[in-house]
Chains A and B, each alone.
Chain A
Amino acid sequence: DIQMTQSPSSLSASVGDRVTITCRASQGIRSSLAWYQQKPGKPPRLLIYAATTLQSGVPSRFRGSGSGTDFTLTITSLQPEDLATYYCQKYDSLPPTFGQGTKVEIK
């Protein structure tokens, strides 16, 4: 199975900061990658699919980039409501594996 490795596992940043989370696949997955946001006690919420496409209703400060094996989720200006854990997921082939998550905290 293809493994997904996210980094960092956690980060702390100030409101207004630019935040970058990376996700690396153990093999190429083209652009078959999604990013999810999960707030405590809530289900995941789809932010980005096809590596770069913003899901309807998601603020434009969330941006996805990359293809092949290396992907990035960028929050261009961190907001207090962005406190959450972020997961990448590859879906080019079964099983659709998730990364281990990145917990974002607000300073």
Chain B
Amino acid sequence: EGQLLESGGEVVQPGASLRLSCAASGFGFSYYAMSWVRQAPGKGLEWVSGISADGTRARHIDSVEGRFTVTRDNSANVLSLQMNSLRVEDTAVYYCAKDYGDYAGHDASDIWGQGTVVIVSS
């Protein structure tokens, strides 16, 4: 049974940077696309970023384009999300998720981590 464990969330001020990590185990990490999905307090789910299995294709939603960068290290089974120029509206629980396929954002996500909390506040 695969597992995902996120880390890196904390309280930061607007304009700060933060790097989230997601350690994968129990499945062939390098064969699957991975996604970051966030959930603002009391709100629904929002797909933020995704990266293909081989790491060559990464995509983000418009509201984080140019500020967030998703990467992966298939040798270490780690997914990362570099978040720059953070805004108050980026406050959320950030989940990493394994996609069924190898092309980011084009399949359901069958394994989810427990999430890491990012709070952007002055």
The chain A residues found within 8 Å of chain B, CB to CB, are: 32, 34, 36, 38, 42-46, 49-50, 55, 87, 89, 91-101
CB-CB under 8 A from A45, the residues of chain B are 112
**Cα separation A94 to B105 with both chains bound (whole Å):** 6
CB-CB under 8 A from A94, the residues of chain B are 50, 59, 104-106
Min CB–CB distance B98 → chain A (angstroms)? 10
* B residues contacting the other copy or chain, number (CB 8 A): 22
CB-CB under 8 A from A89, the residues of chain B are 45, 47, 108
**Cα separation A101 to B114 with both chains bound (whole Å):** 19
The chain B residues found within 8 Å of chain A, CB to CB, are: 35, 37, 44-47, 50, 59, 61, 95, 100, 104-110, 112-115
Min CB–CB distance A42 → chain B (angstroms)? 8
Given contacts A43-B112, A43-B114, A44-B112, contact A98 B47 (CB under 8 A): yes
